[in-house]
A = this chain, B = another copy of it.
Amino acid sequence: MTPINPPKSLDQLTAQEIERKANIGKIVTYTLGNLTSTYVNEGFQWLLPVVLSQSTDPLWPDPNASIETRIEVDIYGKPVRTMSSMIVHKLIAASTVYPKLFILSPNVRIEKSERGKTGKHIYEFTQLDFEIQNATSKDVFLLVETALCTLIKALKKDMKEALSAIGRFDALPTLEGPFKIFDREDLEAKYGETWEADVASEITQPAWITNLPREFYDFEDFSTGKWDNYDLIMPQFGEVLSGSKREYDYAKVIKKMEQHGVRKENYSLIIQMAKEGRLKPTAGAGIGIERIVGYITGVRHIAECQPFPRVPGIVHEL
């Protein structure tokens, strides 16, 4: 892969670059407005985000493969970490007060510096993170397909000028659901290790990839060994969404936490609620805002979609 130069900070842009950045900004604005409206209109509650928490995403299987530092500090005498994802918060919230919820959640993942040049990794990003009680993967697929098809159609109608200015109006295909579904095992058999990039380069419409061995909270069918989870891959781009049906059965949750070597003390609420039968079956996902806008705008580095670029290895004053 050709290494990609990191985007500049706002103060360093030329007049021409300011114009381009402003057009990308208009597409970010439109995307946020359109997606949040879709979720609100579908009856989702809009939750406020959390920055520091005792419990956050373990980022299994091997966070150390990609994460350089985990930020942990003490507040009021207790250790908290910066949010890597609100997955635990979503499971508890969707099981209690908010059966359909979404959050615009800024996540911090201090990715290793070498990831600064992939064009796809940033050390802070915003997820549209959502969760639905008693939903299946198919429910999530339909919701996301509707949301993205609606978004692209609306963008091509209302944002023609901004898209044209950055050369993306004609290049951006109209989307049509349902998207194709591939099993990761079949792709591995066909393409080997590079299956994600290979699929992304071949498809002309988005595609779901299912059955991805992942964190303990994703649903695993112990009888078949298949995972009921999914990524969404955009053509000529790659992953913009990850999600799954979730585990809620106490015995399975405990067994998987032990198999994965997860520190149970960090997830005592999930364990306790599962034990009491109060953890509900849910399904959900997180849409990476910078990635979906990165796909839409065709930028070389998704940090271009951030007003204050968060490129791994590079800390600007802002």
Report the contact-size class of chain A (Cβ under 8 Å from the partner).
35 or more
* 0 or 1 for each of A59-96: is its CB under 8 Å from B? (1 = yes): 00000000011010111111010110000110011001
Q: Are B33 and A306 in contact (CB under 8 A)?
A: no
Give the distance to chain B from A186, nearest Cβ to Cβ, in Å. 36
Return chain B residues, CB-CB under 8 Å to A106.
48-51, 106
A162 → chain B closest CB, angstroms = 11
Most buried by B among A47, A52, A73: A52
* Interchain CB contact under 8 A, A318 and B46: no
Give every chain B residue within 8 A of A318 (Cβ-Cβ). Answer: 50, 53-55, 88-89, 92, 269
| A314→B76 contact, CB < 8 A | yes
Query: Are A92 and B126 also in contact (CB < 8 A) when A45-B25, A73-B71 are?
Result: no
A78 near B46 (CB under 8 angstroms)? no
> Measured between alpha carbons, how far is A179 from B286 in the docked complex, in Å?
41
What 1/0 flags go to A283-313 for Cβ under 8 Å of B? 0000001100000000000000111101011
Confirm or deny: A315 has a beta carbon within 8 angstroms of a beta carbon on chain B.
yes
User: Taking A97-B10, A317-B268 as contacts, is the C-beta distance between A89 and B307 under 8 angstroms?
Assistant: yes
Q: Which residues from 90 to 125 on chain A have a C-beta closer than 8 Å to any C-beta of chain B?
A: 92-93, 96-98, 101, 104, 106, 108, 110, 113, 123-124
Q: Chain B residues with Cβ under 8 A from A28's Cβ? A: 45-48
Cα separation A317 to B52 with both chains bound (whole Å): 10
Q: How far is the CB of A263 from chain B (nearest CB, A)?
A: 13
Cα distance A55–B28 in the bound complex, in angstroms: 24
Interface centre among A10, A32, A82, A110 (most CB of B within 10 A): A10
A33 touches B25 (CB 8 A): no
A302 to chain B, nearest CB (A): 11
Contact B18 A97 (CB under 8 A): yes
Question: How far apart are A123's CB and chain B's nearest CB, in angstroms?
Answer: 7
Q: Is A251 positioned at the interface, with any CB of B under 8 Å from its CB?
A: no
Name A78's contact: one of B68, B93, B315 (CB within 8 Å): B315
Closest to A124 in B: B51
- Residue A138 CB within 8 A of the other chain: no
B126 and A49 form a contact (CB under 8 A): yes
Partner of A93, one of B26, B273, B307: B307
Taking Cβ atoms with an 8 Å cutoff, the residues of A that contact B are 10-11, 13, 18, 21-22, 25-26, 28-29, 32-33, 36-37, 40, 44-55, 68-69, 71, 73-78, 80, 82-83, 88-89, 92-93, 96-98, 101, 104, 106, 108, 110, 113, 123-124, 126, 268-269, 272-273, 278, 289-290, 305-308, 310, 312-318
Given contacts A33-B46, A48-B106, A68-B75, 13 further A-B pairs with CB under 8 A are A11-B278, A22-B97, A33-B40, A47-B307, A49-B106, A53-B318, A69-B74, A75-B110, A76-B113, A76-B315, A77-B315, A93-B307, A97-B307
